[in-house]
Amino acid sequence: MTSLRVSADGRALVWTGNGENLRVEAWGPDSVRVRAAMQRDITDEPDLSALLPLDTVDAGATGSSAAASDADGATTVMAAQTGDVRAEVHAGQDGEAVGTLRNGAIVVQARESAPWIAAGYQDFRCRLSFTKADGTPLLKETDFGGSLNLHARHYEAIEGGPHAITASFLSPADEHLYGMGEYQQSIMDLKGSTFELADRNSQASVPFVVSSAGYGFLWNNPAVGRATFAANRTEWVARSSRQLDYWVTAGDTPAQIERNYACATGHAPIMPDWALGFWQCKLRYWNQDQVLEVARRFKKEDIPVSVLVIDFFHWPHMGDFRFEKEFWPDPKKMCDELHELGIRVMVSVWPQIALDSENYAQMRQKGLLVRSESGLDIGMMFEGPSQFYDTTNPEARAYVWEKCRQNYADLGVDAFWLDEAEPEYGVADFSHYRYHAGPALSCANVYPREYNRGFYEGQEQIGRSGQIVNLTRCAWAGSQRYGALVWSGDVGSTFADLRHQITIAVHMGMAGIPWFTTDMGGFHDGRVDEDGFRELFIRWAQFETFLPVMRNHGDRSARQPDGGLKEKITAADGSRRLPSGAPNEPWSMGPAVEKVLRKFIDIRESMRPYLRELFDQAHTDGQPLVRGLFYEFPDDARTADIADEFLFGPDLLVAPVTQAGAGAREVYLPGGQSTTWTDLRDGAVYRGGSVVSLAAPIDTLPVLARQGRDHGLAGRL
């Protein structure tokens, strides 16, 4: 007798065999969720899932089961209808059960079999395949391969623990793939690539991928692992997990797929108007007077600035979560003056709790810290030994937010920079740590999302809804719903790094994270007194003008008369404090750089209406701001792997200059002859489907408007 059946609520197919429990369930528009577990019941595990609860996603109403007969004579064992969802199980002609789940544009077929294997017994199996409603194949689990005796869902035992799980699929050989978050490379089409599913400084694993074949796939599992998109199979691996969990959606366009994904995992909030302009930061403003001096100069020079950012080690010890009084004697007065100047204040927060912190003993006693499985209980040694607080623990999130509310928000700080969000262990041995949610191997990738969650929910509680922006160095699926503005981490100051940021911006948007930025000019040791870095900085600033947030930051160096590279700082008692990098303001690199940066800050200001439009699309419809050319032109085959230009929203094509010394570049213009592109610098009009060579002197870059929709930028570039 078949063990494949329709669930009692009529929205799922359920199967049991060989100790494995499988549930395939309608979960959001045109989408299904697949869960399976070995020798255990399937659970919701909401804190380890990227998906919103089913009642929030609104997958349909409860139906009822009934017996029926098909027109072709096959017996329908069970069938149920719940709105657009229909689930049924047939007895196939070969006697094996076949189940079908239809949810709008997606159809899943589950085929049960019981082959005899060489061990001498029957091996009960259930293989899944996914198609569009019109029968177009999307992907399917690999088959057992006859004598190969393979399992598409493979569970490898871990001594004393759960399983290492591998899910294997066959997908269209000619598909193109986009998403997966942030990986430092210049590859646009991810087909043929492999990815570590783990977070590092400048790597954010967001395991959602969109296929040109018409589907989106979310690996709904925060375990450390691997994803491989090979020619012969796609494999997703979790090194340690209690159950298999993934989500598949179908759509005719990337926009439809992103819309479904936002419905299932959450929409980005409203981006506040104050965040749309230019952000100023450096490593690091080391006291209150320096911050105010910089702010006053911005106003004196009449340079628009929206946000001033106060970087790390403004505190006595990591984990104190407060200003050090010697250097910041009156933070409230400072914030008040900045607000009078029309500037918002953001402060850096790190999740490390130093052993010397005033909060360490209490947090350790309460179990609010990540814990080492053996040996010294230390996560990092930067500026002294520390351990990270456990963001998967609700009590730890509440404790840290309360400190930050009292010592920052109540004093006028407007926003938080959640640095070290991976978290950045001194040694990335994920088997060495344990969280409230479980071993790090099984849940580490959820850490940055829960970090953002604590600060988002805390700010909601004090009435800041609609005003929350968390600048963060890492993300996981669902982070977008907690106001996560992800930046690409501590990248190098080279043209190669600049090229990487273009593809990263596209892939972050495709992974459902629409808010993205970078360190303008790169982070590591750009020399402000060298012509090569000044050229790079200008080209990076031009690129960043067309990102969701335009933000200047970096660890700047300069040759100084005493031979030093950075400002040396000591406290009143003579003890050392972290040094401050070279100046990093618009006027810091000479009048030529300042002139170009002023120009692009003004361009940014002029784009506010268009930015508002794009951010609202992200909020209401899940659409990315930065888009690969393929996004708006999926039928143009040449757009599939173009990695050095992008669309900012639907209308502006941006072609950054990413080669040192270049004064021109070639630009591909997508679309057919009916599509026109207008160069916003000289008004020249070109037809789609062509490659043009465009001048790009140091004070400009090619930006072209689709169908003449220039959004007020004509002549400004």
Distance CA 554, CA 483 (A): 23
In 622-706, where does DSSP find H-type helix? 629-632
Longest dimension (CA), the chain: 91
Cα–Cα distance measured from residue 652 to residue 677, given in angstroms and rounded to the nearest whole number: 9
Using DSSP's 3-state secondary structure scheme, residue 186 falls into: coil
CA torsion through residues 520, 526, 527, 531, sign: negative
DSSP character string of 679-691: ETTT--EEETTEE
- What is the rounded distance in angstroms from the CA atom of residue 167 to the CA atom of residue 156? 12
Contact 87, 101 (CB under 8 A): yes
CA distance 396 to 394: 5
Q: For the CA atoms of the chain, what is the radius of gyration?
A: 27
Specify which residues 17 forms β-bridges with.
20
Three-class HEC string of 295-349: HHHHHHCCCCCCEEEECCCCCCCCCCCCCCCCCCCCHHHHHHHHHHCCCEEEEEE
| 555-589 CB burial, b ≥16 within 10 A, e <16 | bbbbeeeeeebbeeeeeeeeeebebbbbebbbebb
Single-letter residue type at 374: S
Q: Cβ contacts of residue 57 below 8 Å, gap of 6+?
A: 27, 28, 51, 263, 264
Of 456, 482, 480, 470, give the one whose Cα is nearest residue 401. 456
Element (H, E) at 140: strand 137-141
What amino acid positions are annotated as catalytic residues? 419, 422, 490
> What b/e string do you get for 367-397 counting C-beta neighbours within 10 Å, with b at 16 or more?
ebbbbbeeeeebbbeebebbbbbbbbbeebb
DSSP-derived letter for residue 523 is: S
- Half-sphere exposure in the Cβ direction for 299 (13 Å, CA): 14
Phi-psi map region of 146: left, alpha, beta (phi>0 left; psi -120 to 50 alpha) = left
